[in-house]
A = this chain, B = another copy of it.
């Protein structure tokens, strides 16, 4: 995957523990498809570094990750967005998320969910496709290297999103789910730092969720920009590695 085998396996194990809770050695072997000695050796190594812990013979993510989570890219963005996402959730009655672009993917960095009933769930840290879903297309629409994705998302589609200032999608990333997203710009006003999204079942949002939600989602994006203040902190923002692009 990444060219460093051991690392791929360690990440596979941590990702498994992250979703499938505390698990026994046998459970991790089953869930990852790695051989038992390998899983055992890596879990022991990860334990030395406190990236995994054990409770009664079962392995789970270790407390050192708490600290790294606090200092990860996007932290100030997340802090600024959290109350805004909560308000948007209350206004719309749907789950809300904040996404940042990461290379060819997008990562959910904050998620405030509807409490009960039918709802969309995206865990923080989830890695999603960049070219699918309204938030993905928002992140692409203002990206310098958007030409690289021309075969996945047609240029006129992105132009339309830039004109409107928001995007909607229906059953695109996941069956039965619709969403509306808007870009969060950095202080310069040209680079998109993140995308705010509200998502829920098509049954509630209909075939054109933007009609009802776009105004509120866009307002939330402006609110997050305001909370970030004019003077965007130097270190925490995220940029993409590419550059150089057509129009």
| Also in contact, A62 and B102, with CB within 8 A (given A69-B72, A235-B55) | yes
Interface residues of A in 43-87 (CB under 8 A from B): 44-51, 53-56, 58, 60-75, 78
Once the chains are docked, how many angstroms separate the CA of A21 from the CA of B236?
9
Asked whether, in the complex, the Cβ of A69 is within 8 Å of the Cβ of B65, the reply is yes
Question: How many monomers of this chain does the complex have?
Answer: 2
User: Which residue of the partner chain, among B42, B67, B125, contacts A7 with CB atoms under 8 Å?
Assistant: B42
Q: Size range of the interface on A?
A: 35 or more
Once the chains are docked, how many angstroms separate the CA of A68 from the CA of B109?
11
Interface, chain A (partner B; CB < 8 A): 1-4, 6-8, 10-11, 14, 18, 21-22, 41-42, 44-51, 53-56, 58, 60-75, 78, 100, 102-103, 105, 107-110, 123-127, 235-239, 241
Give the chain B neighbours of A47 by CB distance below 8 A.
Answer: 103
Asked whether, in the complex, the Cβ of A48 is within 8 Å of the Cβ of B100, the reply is no
Asked whether, in the complex, the Cβ of B78 is within 8 Å of the Cβ of A72, the reply is no
Asked whether, in the complex, the Cβ of B63 is within 8 Å of the Cβ of A65, the reply is no
Give the chain B neighbours of A235 by CB distance below 8 A.
Answer: 21-22, 55, 58, 60
Identify which of A48, A51, A73 gathers the most chain B CB atoms within 10 Å of its CB: A73
Asked whether, in the complex, the Cβ of A42 is within 8 Å of the Cβ of B4, the reply is yes
Give the chain B neighbours of A54 by CB distance below 8 A.
Answer: 239, 241
